[in-house]
């Protein structure tokens, strides 16, 4: 991924400034919004990547789209425009979120289920994920009907597969080996 190193450097710089000013969490929320907005809008993404669109147009579009962003984010836009690196804006936002989470001891977990989790089940999974990682955990629920039932929990490098599909595959392997 082109610009990954530069994105990390910009993200570290913004995190450092935001932490010193006590606005790191506000900037983190802005960066989450930026990441999701650019990911959901192909036109915005294409415009940022286009060498044909002038930097002044890119800047005015970004300032219009993210008009509620903190001054740290607005300063980042200025710096990226000035350094001709606005094409890595979404990568900087992603890296910032990752660095912020590392700094605050937040782990991301995904739980794959056949149906959406109820609030009670989500709380139970959250407790299990916290016990596995020893950190604060944010859960993302992915719905995949092919697992039939049960769940697959991924926390960092760990995966706990309690899906019906996995159990059926184990039985199938046992019967084919015997």
Q: What is the pLDDT of residues 110-148, one digit of tens each?
A: 999 999 989 998 998 888 888 888 888 989 999 999 998
Kindly state the average pLDDT of the residues 15-25: 96
Start-to-end CA distance of the chain, whole Å, equals 47
Question: Cα–Cα distances in Å, from 143 out to 107, 129, 135, 146, 148?
Answer: 20, 18, 24, 9, 11
Confidence of residue 86 (pLDDT cuts 50, 70, 90): very high
Confidence of residue 104 (pLDDT cuts 50, 70, 90): very high
In angstroms, rounded to a whole number, what is the distance separating the alpha carbons of residues 125 and 154? Answer: 11
The domain spans of the chain are 4-102, 106-177
User: What sign does the dihedral 107-112-115-120 (CA atoms) show?
Assistant: negative
Q: Where do we find the tokens 């190193």?
A: 5
36-64 tens-digit pLDDT: 999 999 999 999 999 999 999 999 999 99
Show the beta-strand stretches assigned E in 3-135: 106-113
Alpha-carbon Rg for the chain, nearest whole angstrom, is: 21
What would be the CATH architecture of the domain defined by 4-102?
A: Orthogonal Bundle (1.10)
Kindly state the average pLDDT of the residues 86-106: 95
**pLDDT at 96 (0 to 100):** 97
Domain 106-177 -> CATH class: alpha beta
Instruction: List the one residue out of 99, 36, 46, 21 whose CA is nearest residue 66.
Output: 36
Read off the DSSP letter of residue 86: G
């Amino acid at each position: 991924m082109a610009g990954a190193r530069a994105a990390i450097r910009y993200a570290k710089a913004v995190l450092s400034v935001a932490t010193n000013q006590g606005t790191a969490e506000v900037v983190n929320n802005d960066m989450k919004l930026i990441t999701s907005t650019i990911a959901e809008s192909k036109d915005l993404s294409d415009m940022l990547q286009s060498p044909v669109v002038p930097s002044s147009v890119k800047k005015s579009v970004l300032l219009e789209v993210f008009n509620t962003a903190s001054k740290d984010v607005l300063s980042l836009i200025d710096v990226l425009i000035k350094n001709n690196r606005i094409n890595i804006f979404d990568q900087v936002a992603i890296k910032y979120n990752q660095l912020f989470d590392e700094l605050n001891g937040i782990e991301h977990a995904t739980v794959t289920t056949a149906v959406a989790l109820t609030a009670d089940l989500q709380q139970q999974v959250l407790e299990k994920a916290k016990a596995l990682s020893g950190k604060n955990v944010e859960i993302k629920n992915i719905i995949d009907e092919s697992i039939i039932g049960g769940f697959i929990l991924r926390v960092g490098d760990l995966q706990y597969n309690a899906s019906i599909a996995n159990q059926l595959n184990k039985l199938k392997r046992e019967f084919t080996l015997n």
